[in-house]
Structure 1
Amino acid sequence: MRDYLKFYIDGAWVDPVKANPLDVINPATEAVAGRISLGGTADVDKAVAAAKRAFPSFSQTSRADRLELLNNVMAEYQKRYAEIAAAITEEMGAPGWLAMQAQAAIGMGHLQTGIAVLKDYSFEELRGTTMLAKEPIGVCAFITPWNWPINQIACKVVPALAVGCTMVLKPSEIAPFSAQLWTEVMHAAGVPAGVFNLVNGDGPTVGAALSSHPDVDMVSFTGSTRAGIEVARNAAPTVKRVAQELGGKSPNIILDDANLETAVGSGVVSMMMNSGQSCNAPTRMLVPAGKMEAAKAIAKAAAETVTVGSPDGNAKIGPVVSEVQWNKIQALIQKGIDEGATLVSGGPGKPEGLETGYYVKPTVFADVTNDMTIAREEIFGPVLAMMPYKSEEEAIAIGNDTVYGLAAYVQGEPEHARKVARQMRAGQVILNYAQGDMMAPFGGYKQSGNGREWGDAAFAEFLETKAIIGYAPAAAAE
C-alpha cells in the first residue's frame, strides 16, 4: 500500500495545508492500492510562489548547466525505471510488458530527445541589426492525465526544464504513483528548489487554481476536450499562454491498393493497445465497400488474438483505468448495437473469468456510418468502428468529418498513401503503421488542441521571442 500524502514544494516534501486523503484504486483488482492527498488553492499558492522565486536564477542558467541537470535526471530515472513501470501497472492497469517497453520507456525517450535538442538549439538569431532572443516564458503549470502518465509528464517537464522554465505539476489523481516517483527522480537529480513542484489534486480544484493563477505564465494541459475548454476559460482572464493536447477520433484509411490482411489485422491490434486508452488510437477504420466482408473476417480473427487479463501476466491488454471509464465504454458499446452497427467481435460485459477488475472485451463494429455515436464520440476503450467507403474522395471526406484532428492513418502503396496524407486534417499522419518518431511534433488540429509537443517543436511552447532592435551596429550587420 502506497502512502503519498505529501506534496513536493520548494525542494522539500511538505504536508498539505488541509488534510484531504483520497484512495487510489488498482483497476485490475478494484482494491485500494494507496492514498494521496487532494490539494487546495492554498497548496497551489505555495507551489506557484516557490516556482516564481526560483525563476529569476534558473532562467539565467547556462545551456551547459541545464544539460548537466537533464543528464542527472536521466541517470536517476534509469535507476528507478523498473519501479516506475511497476507503478504504472498498478495505477492504471498497463500490462507489465507494456509498462516496461512503452510506458516507462517513453519517459527515457523524452529525456534523450530533450538532451539532444538542447545541445544544438538556437536561442539567439541576429537579423540585420536586430537580435531575436528566445527566452523562457516563466512559471508553467502542467496538468496531466492517467492514460500514458509518464509520457505526458516527461514531454512537458523535459523541454520546460531544458529552456529554463520553472513549473508546478498536477498529475491525474486517478494514476498518481508514477508522478510521485518522477518527483523523487527530480529531487535526487539535484533540480534546484522551486524549479519543479508537485501538488496532487482534482481538476475542478487544483487544476482550476493553476490555470487561473495570476503568477502562472503558461499552462499545458493534456486530457479531454471538455476539460480543455475549462482550462482555457480559466486561463483567459490572465491572458496566459495555453497549450493543449486533447481528444481524438482518428481515421485509419485502408486504400484499395493496401494489403488487406496486414492493414486490417494490424489496425485492429494497434487500436486495442493500452486497452484503447490512447488519444491518437486509430479508432475509425475506413475500408473499401467491396472489401468490407473480407475485412470483417480479418478484423474478427485479429480481435480474437487480443488477449485480456491481469496486467501481471502475458495478456495483450489489461483493464481500463476505472469503474467510471468502464461504465462509459459499456454504454457506448450498447449504443453501437442500438444504432444498428454490426457487432463483429466482443460486445457488452466483462470477458469470461474476469469478473473482478475493469476489463472490457476487445470489440469490433462494422457497417458503421459516420453519424453514429460510436463514430463521433471518443470511446477511450478497445472498441473499433469499421466504416465502408465507395471512393477515395469519400474516404478522405469521412476521415476529416470530425471535430477532432489529432492523428490519421493511411495504408497503401507509399506514393498513394503520401498523396492521401496531404489531404488529412490532422497533426500527425502515420503511413503504413510506421514506427513512432520522438522528434515528430505531436498535437492536433481543430478540437484536438493547440500547440505541439515532442522534440524541438516542444521547446517553442516554453519560449517567448524578444526583439532587441539596434543590438548590432549597422556597419557590423552589413
Structure 2
Amino acid sequence: MDTLLDKRKFYIDGQWVDPARANDLEVVDPSNEEAVAVISLGGQEDTDAAVAAAKAAFPAWSRTSPTERLGYVEKILEIYERRAGDMAWAISHEMGAPQDMSLAAQVGAGRGHIKNFIKAFKEFEFIRPLGDHAPTTMVAWEPIGVVGLITPWNWPMNQVTLKVIPALLAGDTVVLKPSEIAPLSSMVFAEYLDEAGLPKGVFNLVNGDGAGVGTQLSTHEDVEMISFTGSTRAGIAISKAAADTLKKVVLELGGKGANIVFADADDKAVIRGAQHCFNNSGQSCNAPTRMLVERSAYDRAVETAAKVAEETSVATAHQSGNHIGPVVSKQQWDKIQGLIQAGIDEGARLAAGGPGLPEGVNRGYFVRPTVFADVRNDMTIAQQEIFGPVLSIIPFDDEEQAVAIANDTPYGLTNYVQTQDGAKRNRVARQLRAGMIEMNGESRGAGSAFGGVKMSGRAREGGVMGLEEFMDSKFISGWDRDAG
C-alpha cells in the first residue's frame, strides 16, 4: 500500500478526537510485512478523557429501558451485516486471516454473538423472585458502571462483541482498548456504533498497549470492571493492577486443549481435530493442540494428522481459497519457531512441517503446519501455549491415563472427547477440568458460555451468563408485588 491509512484518532464522547500527544505506531500486514495504517498509542490524558465521558454518560444510560437499549443493539447488528465487507478487509490486513475465512468465520463470529445476545436479552428478567419460598424477596440485576474492555488480536470481533454488546445491553458505559497490533477492526466497529446513534459517552475507544492504556484502565478509580481476553501473563498483571481499587476483574486467558481420541472414535475424528488445530493458523485459545490417542489407534492417527498438515496450504490473506494465512507478527513467528525447535531438541518426532518458512515463501509471517508425534506431556510443546499451527500427539493406554494427561496442564479452557461409547463420553467429560467440553465434533449450542478454569481464567462470556457478567445482583426483601 503506497499510502498508509491515517487511523490516529480515538473515539471519545461521541466523536473522533486527536490524541493528547502524538505517539504513532504502524499496523503491519503480516502477509507481506508492510505497514498498512498508522495509529496512535494513547496516554493517561486520553484514558482519563474516555473514562470521564463514560462516567458522565452512565447515569442517563443506566436508566434507559431495556427496550431502548435493545433497539440500539438491533441497529448495530443491521450496520454490522451491511458493512461486513469492510470488517473482513480490516481483519485480513491487520492480523492475516484469509479473506474468505475472515468474512465467514471472523466476521461471522461477531454476528452470531450479537444475535445470541439479542435472543438472551429478550428473555432476561431484570427483577425476579428469589423463589416460591420467598415471594417478596427479589433479585434485581443492575448495571455495574464504567467498564474497561481489553481485547486481543486473534479473533477481534469475536471478543469485541462478547464484551461490548452485553455491556451496552446491561446498561454499562464502555471504554474499549483493542489490541494495538490489530486495532483497525475495532475502529470500524466504532463507526458502526456511531452510525447507530448511541448517546455520546456510552461507548469510547482508546488505542494503546497493555503497559499504557491497559494498565491505566486497570488502575483507574472510576472504572468499576475490567474484562480482559489475552495471555495468562497479562491477565495476572491486570489482576494485580486492579486489586487496589477492588474492581470486578473478568479474565478469559490461554489454553492448551486436550483432544482425547479413543480407538472407537469415528473415522473423521483425527482429521477434524488436526484441521481445528491449524484453523486461524493455530491462533485460538481453545484450539485442540494436544491430541491424546489410544495406543491401538496411535500410528494410524499420526499418519492421518501428518497428511492433514501436508495438505493444509499456506498463502497470503489477500487471495480467495481454503488456506491458512500468516501468524500475526514477527514476534509471534519467532516465538513459534523457538517452540518448534524445542520440540525437536527435547526428542519429539517431527511427523510433518518443522521450522522455517513454507516452501516458496520469502516474506510474511507464515508457519509450516507442524505435527509432532511421541510427545511426552512434560515436554515444552505439551505445556506451553504455542499459538501457532503446531499439533502434539501423545499416546495413552486407558481412560484413566487419558484423563490424567489431559488434566496435567496449568490451563483449563476447552477439552475434546472422541468416542462412540456414550457412557464413556459422559464419564470422561465430567472428569476433565475445563470450562468447556466438546465431543464428537458437535459444537456447543447457541448461547453457551465461553470460559475456563485454572490459568485459563474464569470468565463466562456469551448468552445469559455473559449478560450477567456485566451486571451486579441486588437482593431486596419486602417487595410489594402488587405495586410492580
Pairwise TM-score range, normalised by the shorter structure: over 0.9
Aligned to 1:218: 225
Cα RMSD for the two superposed structures = 1.2
Q: CA deviation at 1:471?
A: 2.1
Query: What amino acid is aligned across from residue 304 of structure 1 in structure 2?
Result: E
| Selected match of 1:270 from 245, 266, 276 | 276
Q: Give SS of 1:286's match.
A: strand
Q: 2:69 aligns with which of 66, 71, 79?
A: 66
1:301 maps to 307
Cα gap change, 1:241/1:119 in structure 2, threshold over 3 Å: closer, same or farther? same
1:134 aligns with 2:141: yes
1:450 corresponds in structure 2 to: 458
Deviation at 1:420, TM superposition (A): 1.2
Aligned to 1:418: 426
> Are the counterparts in 2 of residues 418 and 431 from structure 1 also a CA contact under 8 Å?
no
Q: How does 1:112-131 map to 2 (within 5 A)?
A: 112-127=115-130, 128-131=135-138
Tell me the SS of whatever aligns to 2:268.
Answer: helix
Query: What CA distance in whole angstroms lies between the structure 2 residues aligned with 1:472 and 1:191?
Result: 34
Q: Where in structure 2 are there 5+ consecutive unaligned residues?
A: none
Distance in 1 (CA, whole Å) between partners of 2:327 and 2:162 is 23
Kindly provide the CA deviation profile for residues 189-211 of structure 1, in whole angstroms up to 9, marking residues without a partner as x: 01110000000000000000001
Matches within 5 A, 1:61-210: 61-127=64-130, 128-210=135-217
1:427 paired with 2:430, answer no
Residue type matched to 1:96 in 2?
Q
Which position in structure 1 is the counterpart of 2:292?
A: 286
Q: Write the distance in 2 (CA, Å) between the matches of 1:245 and 1:284.
A: 20
Pair 414,216 (structure 1): closer, same or farther in 2 beyond 3 Å: farther
Q: 1:437: which partner in 2?
A: 445
Per-residue CA distance 1:236-282 (angstroms, 9 max, x = gap): 000000001000000000012113x4111111111100000000000
Say if 2:47 is the partner of 1:40.
no
Q: Percent identity?
A: 52
Question: Structure 1's 86 and 437: CA in aligned 2 closer, same or farther, altered over 3 A?
Answer: farther
**1:472 matched to which residue of 2?**
480
Which whole-Å CA distance do the structure 2 matches of 1:290 and 1:435 have between them?
27
Instruction: State how far apart, in whole Å, the 2-side matches of 1:79 and 1:129 are.
Output: 46
* Aligned mates of 2:51, 2:381 — CA distance in 1: 41
User: What's the CA shift for 1:423?
Assistant: 1.0
What residue identity is the alignment partner of 1:22? L
- Say if 2:57 is the partner of 1:50: no
Q: Is the 8 A contact 2:27 2:182 kept in 1?
A: yes
Determine if contact 1:287/1:386 at 8 Å carries over to the other structure. Answer: yes
SS of 2:448's partner is: coil
For residues 410-467 of structure 1, give each alpha carbon's deviation from its aligned partner in whole angstroms, at most 9, with x where no partner exists. 0111512222111111111001111353311100110100220011110111111112
Once the two structures are superposed, what CA deviation does each residue of 1:338-389 show, in whole Å capped at 9, x if it has no partner?
0000000000000011110000000000000010000000000000000000
Is the 2:337–2:356 contact (alpha carbons within 8 Å) kept by the matching residues of 1?
A: yes
Indicate whether 1:356 and 2:363 are aligned.
yes
Aligned residue in 2 for 1:389: 396
Query: How many angstroms does 1:315 deviate by?
Result: 4.5
The TM-score normalised by the length of structure 1 is: 0.97
SS in 2 for 1:304: helix
Instruction: Give the count of matched residue pairs.
Output: 474
Please state how far the C-alpha of 1:132 moved relative to its aligned partner. Answer: 1.7
- Aligned partners of 1:296, 1:452: CA distance in 2, in Å? 34
Q: Indicate conservation of the 8 Å contact 1:309/1:315, yes or no.
A: no
- Contact (CA 8 Å) 1:308, 1:315: kept in 2 or not? no
> Which has the larger displacement, 45-54 or 109-118?
109-118
Partner-residue secondary structure (3-state), 2:25: strand
1:247 aligns with 2:254: yes
Q: 1:39-85 CA distances to partner (integer Å, 9 max, x unpaired)? A: 01111000000000000010011011011111111111112111101
More displaced 10-residue stretch of structure 1: 45-54 or 434-443: 434-443
Matched with 1:409 is 416
SS at match of 1:422: helix
User: Partner amino acid for 1:431?
Assistant: M
User: Quick one: distance in 1 between partners of 2:300 and 2:82?
Assistant: 49
Q: Distance in 1 between matches of 2:117 and 2:305?
A: 38
The answer to whether the Cα contact below 8 Å between 1:130 and 1:472 also exists between their aligned partners in 2 is: no
- Are the equivalent residues in 1 in contact too, given 2:100–2:322 (CA < 8 A)? no
Determine the C-alpha separation between the residues in 2 that align with 1:12 and 1:302: 48
Supply the distance in 2 between the matched residues of 1:220 and 1:462 (Cα, whole angstroms). Answer: 9
Structure 2 residue 239 is the aligned partner of structure 1 residue 237? no
Deviation, 1:10, is 0.4
Task: Give the distance between the partners of 2:357 and 2:322, measured in 1 at CA.
Answer: 15
Give the drift of 1:28. 0.3
Question: Which one-letter code corresponds to 2:300 in the other structure?
Answer: A
Give me the whole-angstrom Cα distance separating, in 1, the residues matched to 2:136 and 2:330: 61
SS in 1 for 2:179: coil
Q: Is the 8 A contact 1:319 1:358 kept in 2?
A: yes
The offset of 1:469, in angstroms, is: 2.2
Q: Tell me, in whole angstroms, the C-alpha distance in 2 between the residues paired with 1:325 and 1:126.
A: 50
Over 3 Å off, 4+ runs: none
* TM-score (norm: length of structure 2): 0.96
